[in-house]
Structure 1
Amino acid sequence: MTEFRRVGLSTGVTLNVAVAGPEDAPPVILLHGFPESHRTWRGVAPLLEDSFRLIMPDQRGFAGSDRPLDVDEYESDKLIGDIFALAEAFGVERFALVGHDWGGAIAWPAAMRNDPRLTKLAIINAPHPLIFQKSLIEDADQRAASQYINWFRVPGAEKAIEAMGFEAFFQKTFMSHVELASVSEAEKQQYIAEWSQPGGMLPMLNWYRATKLIVPPPGATVAVPDFLLRSFPMIHVPTLVVWGMKDPALLPLQLEGLEALVDDLTVVKLPDAGHFAPWEAPDQVASALRDFLG
């Protein structure tokens, strides 16, 4: 049974956190992405809560958690800090970390710190930052698929979304990813209610504005950033990558080269799922997580 807590963190924000599973079970922190909340795991959590202590926050800027308005509140160091501060707030000494979309984008660099508190890493449709940045420069298809990031960064994009209407934004966000008929009216209204929080879309879009990711316009020639030429931190914790292969935003080429960046890597491909695999294919995602986390 899921319970909810308001949890103040040492990083200065208070998060709304969904918690499920026995208190003495192995702890797992699950991080959602854009434009979601802890509800990303609505289909997965019931399949895992018998064996794991599931800690599922609304990340800062989303849904029921604090929603700072300044862009610098969403820099990666602060977002990673929230992960470990959340573990501290729950008295968790060692934990596994699962991330989807932006949750995975933050989980990757969190694992690069090789903090002994982090025991396992599971990623669902979220690219490794090195491979993603390289593909945005070298692969025309991935660059084209990622132009939405530049649009989200435009000043006033949040006002354009609000002017469009959240019903229309719901259609635009999910239409190319899932069969919309599979999302109930109650679920849709929950999304809209979360997006309608004070501050509107701005806190969520600040995740895109704070990242240093370079997304060149189509056809432009861009020099390779210096950080791509330097050695990149290896990930030493056991790592699972689950990938919905029909993802139109993050193409399967994001899986290429991972074995050179992760010591202990397992990849599970879901041929019939897309970007929102945790609720498109919850049984398959939960099965992969159970095998790996167990």
Structure 2
Amino acid sequence: MTAAIAGVALGRIALPTGAELEVATGGDPSNPAIIFLHGFPESHRTWRRILPDLARDHYVVAPDQRGFGGSSKPQDVADYSIDKILADLIALADALGIGTFTLVGHDWGGAVAWTAALARPDRVARLVILNAPHPLVFQRSLIDDAAQREASQYIRIFRTPGIESQFERAGIGTFFDRVFAAHADPETIGDERQVYLDQWSQPGALTAMLNWYRASQIVVPAIGAEAERPDWIDRPFPVLRMPVLVIWALGDRALLPCQIQGLPPLVEDLGVITVQGGHFVPWERPDAVIEALRDWLGS
């Protein structure tokens, strides 16, 4: 049985987008709202050590995004286009009566958060990113930075048709150890391993999660390949005007520090805090994340 998160309730919300999301909520709905978006291959459990603290004086909302955890898992790649995932976010906020909100995203959740801030600044009042690349910086680095291109070759693997069958034949436990545990401090995982194995063993779960990569329009050239530059990466790009905090764990082997070096021209009100740890910083450094969030929210 999944351990409960103190002060947080879990429910299921059917959205007009067609998705049904399992959603963790906590705190007083009259308080300022913070929506937390997890990444691959996770669920709302990403935030289990962070939500109780923020729920003391905020209304916290952490969905399992479509394809993950307890939420619906459509099997078509097209169901994971960024416009559909963004529509889920806005529909969820509407369903909960939330107008504007602070948006916090890690990994793929951070990619959605960057997009939401760019597309819906009328709803996203403040943005917090944890080890998730800005779309322009990321695409440029995949073309121009050999180290980041090499570190991102796993995306090409995840897009391979039928790769989930290979993961299933090797065993879901092996998938956990190679894809998740290899990038996280094992001391922080504990009993959560079985939680994720149960989630990933659901019918269609691996396909749904991997379809996030397949639906993405980001171009990942092969190592050493001559890469054609998408024309949009050299054109003027919108600048974010809302306050943005980036919390970056420097031990991330998948997303390198070049992802934060290119941010200043793209964010008018930018704060960057670097911490020690790997890619799964909400797991490894929850106290550092809480401290950074509280200092920034208080300011």
Report the TM-score range of the alignment, normalised by the length of the smaller protein.
over 0.9
Superposition map of 1:132-147 within 5 A: 132-147=138-153
Which of 244, 251, 274 pairs up with 1:246? 251
Structure 1 residues 94-103 or 21-30, which shifts more?
A: 21-30
Query: Which residue number in structure 2 is paired with residue 263 of structure 1?
Result: 268
- Cα distance between partner residues in 1 of 2:140 and 2:208: 27
Q: Aligned-pair RMSD on alpha carbons?
A: 1.1
Which of 202, 207, 217 pairs up with 1:202? 207
2:222 maps to 1:217: yes
State whether residues 73 and 205 of structure 2, in contact with CA within 8 Å, keep that contact through their aligned partners in structure 1: no
State whether residues 247 and 273 of structure 2, in contact with CA within 8 Å, keep that contact through their aligned partners in structure 1: yes
- Cα distance between partner residues in 2 of 1:22 and 1:293: 17
Query: Which residue number in structure 2 is paired with residue 44 of structure 1?
Result: 50
Q: Offset at 1:293?
A: 2.6
Q: Offset at 1:11?
A: 1.2
Residue type at the aligned position of 2:178: K
- Cα distance between partner residues in 2 of 1:21 and 1:182: 25
State whether residues 16 and 64 of structure 1, in contact with CA within 8 Å, keep that contact through their aligned partners in structure 2: yes
Query: Which residue number in structure 1 is paired with residue 165 of structure 2?
Result: 159
- Cα distance between partner residues in 2 of 1:138 and 1:227: 15
Query: Which residue number in structure 2 is paired with residue 275 of structure 1?
Result: 279
Query: Which residue number in structure 2 is paired with residue 17 of structure 1?
Result: 23
Question: Partner of 1:285: helix, strand, or coil?
Answer: helix
State whether residues 41 and 180 of structure 2, in contact with CA within 8 Å, keep that contact through their aligned partners in structure 1: no
Question: Partner of 1:264: helix, strand, or coil?
Answer: strand
Q: Where does the alignment leave 5 or more consecutive residues of structure 1 unmatched?
A: none
Write the deviation string for residues 148-198 of structure 1: whole angstroms up to 9, x where unpaired: 1000000001111111111111110134322324321x2100010010112
Closer/same/farther in 2, CA of residues 256 and 139 from structure 1, 3 Å limit: same
- Cα distance between partner residues in 2 of 1:290 and 1:214: 36
Write the deviation string for residues 217-255 of structure 1: whole angstroms up to 9, x where unpaired: 101111211111221111111100000000000001100
Residue type at the aligned position of 1:223: E
Query: Which residue number in structure 2 is paired with residue 285 of structure 1?
Result: 289
TM-score by length of structure 2 reads: 0.95
State whether residues 142 and 221 of structure 2, in contact with CA within 8 Å, keep that contact through their aligned partners in structure 1: yes
- Cα distance between partner residues in 1 of 2:148 and 2:181: 19
- Cα distance between partner residues in 1 of 2:142 and 2:221: 7
Residue type at the aligned position of 1:229: D
- Cα distance between partner residues in 1 of 2:265 and 2:162: 40
Superposition map of 1:122-137 within 5 A: 122-137=128-143
Which of 45, 54, 63 pairs up with 1:57? 63
Q: Offset at 1:202?
A: 0.1
Residue type at the aligned position of 1:94: T
Residue type at the aligned position of 1:267: V
Residue type at the aligned position of 1:82: D
2:217 maps to 1:189: no
Residue type at the aligned position of 1:279: W
Residue type at the aligned position of 2:200: W
Identity across the alignment (%): 51
State whether residues 50 and 290 of structure 2, in contact with CA within 8 Å, keep that contact through their aligned partners in structure 1: yes
Query: Which residue number in structure 1 is paired with residue 84 of structure 2?
Result: 78
Residue type at the aligned position of 1:265: L
Query: Which residue number in structure 2 is paired with residue 8 of structure 1?
Result: 14
Residue type at the aligned position of 2:258: L
State whether residues 189 and 283 of structure 2, in contact with CA within 8 Å, keep that contact through their aligned partners in structure 1: no
State whether residues 158 and 200 of structure 1, in contact with CA within 8 Å, keep that contact through their aligned partners in structure 2: no
State whether residues 105 and 126 of structure 1, in contact with CA within 8 Å, keep that contact through their aligned partners in structure 2: yes
2:112 maps to 1:106: yes
Residue type at the aligned position of 2:22: N
Residue type at the aligned position of 2:54: L
State whether residues 139 and 218 of structure 2, in contact with CA within 8 Å, keep that contact through their aligned partners in structure 1: yes
Structure 1 residues 221-230 or 144-153, which shifts more?
A: 221-230
Q: Where does the alignment leave 5 or more consecutive residues of structure 2 unmatched?
A: 1-6
Aligned residues: 292
